[in-house]
């Protein structure tokens, strides 16, 4: 595991501290189930101390937001992280389906197709054009 400097502060049982700890677990703990998605792709945490993390990210922190890497292939650091809603994070995942640069969920809304219906069509017809009936 990377060198993490021990420090004492009053935030050790807060949500913010837990977020930083979860970042470290994903990046450095090979027993963590998400480890393969981070360390295997050389994604690291640049914040070796909680105080560094908090000083960088506290200005825009809100209790209902989660931390997000703006570029999913780069490290956790101030220039690459921001606070986002869960919905925003779901859009930026690597496995988010898109067709012609538009999210599949947006196609569902536009064409009045329920998402389970679309996924069942995808299993049957194999192409997104057939599933959306755009052919």
**CA of residue 65 relative to chain centroid, distance:** 12
Mean pLDDT across 92-117:
70
Strands 98-99 and 102-103: antiparallel
pLDDT digits (tens, 9 = 90+) for 57-104: 999 999 999 999 988 889 999 999 999 988 777 666 655 555 566 777
Question: How is residue 7 annotated by DSSP?
Answer: -
Residue 97's pLDDT is what?
58
pLDDT digits (tens, 9 = 90+) for 10-69: 677 899 999 999 999 999 999 988 888 887 789 999 999 999 999 999 999 999 999 999
Tell me which of 36 and 6 has the higher pLDDT: 36
Residue 135's pLDDT is what?
43
Nearest to 43 by CA among 29, 28, 57: 28
Residue 109's pLDDT is what?
79
DSSP codes of every residue in 48-111: -SHHHHHHHHGGG--TT-EEEESSTTS-BSGGGEEEE-HHHHHHTSTT--EETTEEHHHHHHHH
Mean pLDDT across 96-121:
73
Q: Which residue has the tokens 């898109």?
A: 98
Residue 121's pLDDT is what?
79
């Amino acid at each position: 595991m990377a060198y993490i400097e021990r420090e004492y502060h009053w935030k050790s049982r807060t949500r913010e501290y837990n977020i930083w700890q979860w970042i470290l677990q994903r990046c450095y703990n090979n027993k963590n189930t998400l480890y393969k998605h981070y360390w295997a792709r050389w994604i690291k945490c640049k914040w070796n101390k909680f105080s560094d993390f908090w000083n960088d990210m506290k200005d825009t922190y809100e209790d209902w937001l989660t931390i997000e890497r703006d570029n999913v292939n780069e490290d956790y650091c101030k220039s690459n992280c921001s606070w986002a809603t869960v919905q925003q994070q779901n859009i930026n995942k690597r496995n988010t389906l898109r067709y012609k640069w538009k999210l599949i969920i947006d196609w569902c809304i536009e064409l009045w197709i329920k998402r389970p219906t679309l996924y069942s069509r995808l299993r049957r017809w194999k192409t997104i054009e057939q599933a959306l009936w755009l052919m």
